[in-house]
Structure 1
Amino acid sequence: MLAVAMGTLGLAYASVPLYRIFCQTTGFGGTTKRHKGGGEDEGYDLPADPATLPGNRPLRVTFNTDVSQQLPWSFKPVQKHVTVLAGQTALAFFEATNHSTEPIIAVATYNVIPNEAGAYFNKIQCFCFDEQRLLPGETVDMPVFFYIDPEFLKDRKMKRLDTMTLSYTFFKSNEIYS
């Protein structure tokens, strides 16, 4: 009986990180995908001129930010939105400030709305891949470098979509896993 209880507790503890990995891999629930390329020299398998892709159109990516009630930070996008073509890389910045008198480590969760678009949203580099440590009173700019997969253009469900929202929520690091 004790073994079953301990096993259930262990499974419950592991379920949050496992679910996050599942969502990041599949794009489930609007979770974006992490680009698997190795860097600039390797390339991103993106078209040389995204404007030449059949059916390509401007896509507006808006940004939404939030912080947990237990986190004394402010967090906002530096720009409200960017406009990109599928297959074109884009860079956006976010600003975070620690308003406490102690250093705090936090982690950002993220998703894309509408959820179906998350499967096509690829992050090459993002502050959300790692925990962020801010000193008391510190303000930092945090980048996200991304692209919309050109396969987006072939999906019938995406034909009328011209706006998507990338949303982040920051939590204290110990809060996300407890």
Structure 2
Amino acid sequence: MKRNTKVVLWLVAAVAFMGGLAFASVPLYRAFCNLTGFDGTAMRATKAPEVATDVIVRVRFDTNTRDIPWTFKAEKPYQDVRIGKTAMMYFTVTNTADHAITGRAVFNVLPETMGPFYRKLQCFCFDDQTLQAGESKTFPMVYFLDPEMLKNIDTRKVRDVTLSYTFFESKAAKK
């Protein structure tokens, strides 16, 4: 009987461990993607490169909303930028609801291999954004394409990149 109790305790511990790991997998994966740029996640940068190249890449901007009564658009549909040179794009968001709403923009970079090389210095997507009823705000996004992309076999010939944003109602603000 004592041996069976030991086996049962080990099995319960294993199931509890697997359940905890499954519960933690989504935030751990999100943290991993933010840290490494994996799965098309753009990297946050603290400073721009010293030197820009002469290579031009077209950066396209895709703006979407999901289950939030906001309109959201980029100032221009695309921008041609030199690799290593800091660029800025403006995005306008309007709350069409009759009450204040807090939203959060999530983003993705395509092709996915460009995620580690698309660096943001400033972005509205770093924080929740609150808009009052009928309010519009224009947000800058400052970024650059890391010259290291030219040394990577998967990205050195990429000349067209899409940055896609989707605004959702913030879960933190709903609590």
Give the TM-score category using the shorter length. 0.7 to 0.9
- Alpha-carbon distance change, 95 to 9 in structure 1, aligned in 2, over 3 angstroms: farther
Q: Does residue 1:118 correspond to 2:119, yes or no?
A: no
Larger Rg: 2
- Alpha-carbon distance change, 45 to 88 in structure 1, aligned in 2, over 3 angstroms: closer
Match of 2:159 among 141, 157, 162: 162
Q: CA deviation at 1:162?
A: 0.6
Q: CA deviation at 1:158?
A: 1.9
Letter in 1 for 2:35: T
Task: Identify the residue that residue 69 of structure 2 maps to in structure 1.
Answer: 72
**Which residues of 2 match residues 79-94 of structure 1 at below 5 A?**
79-94=76-91
What is the SS of the residue equivalent to 2:79?
A: strand
Task: Identify the residue that residue 146 of structure 1 maps to in structure 2.
Answer: 143
Residues 60 and 163 of structure 2 are in contact (CA less than 8 Å); yes or no, is this contact kept in structure 1? yes
* Structure 1 gap segments, 5+ residues each: 38-42
Q: CA deviation at 1:143?
A: 1.1
Task: Identify the residue that residue 40 of structure 1 maps to in structure 2.
Answer: none
Residues 49 and 85 of structure 2 are in contact (CA less than 8 Å); yes or no, is this contact kept in structure 1? no
**Cα deviation per residue 1:134-171 (whole Å; 9 max; x = unaligned)?**
00000111111000011011112223311000000111
TM-score norm. by structure 1 comes to 0.81
**Cα deviation per residue 1:67-108 (whole Å; 9 max; x = unaligned)?**
11x201111111111111111000001111101111001101
Q: Does residue 1:33 correspond to 2:43, yes or no?
A: yes
What is the SS of the residue equivalent to 1:158?
A: coil
What is the SS of the residue equivalent to 1:100?
A: coil
Residues 16 and 177 of structure 1 are in contact (CA less than 8 Å); yes or no, is this contact kept in structure 2? no
Task: Identify the residue that residue 59 of structure 1 maps to in structure 2.
Answer: 57
Paired with 2:50 and 2:164, the residues of 1 have a C-alpha distance of: 24
- Alpha-carbon distance change, 16 to 103 in structure 1, aligned in 2, over 3 angstroms: farther
Count matched residues. Answer: 162
Paired with 2:48 and 2:160, the residues of 1 have a C-alpha distance of: 23
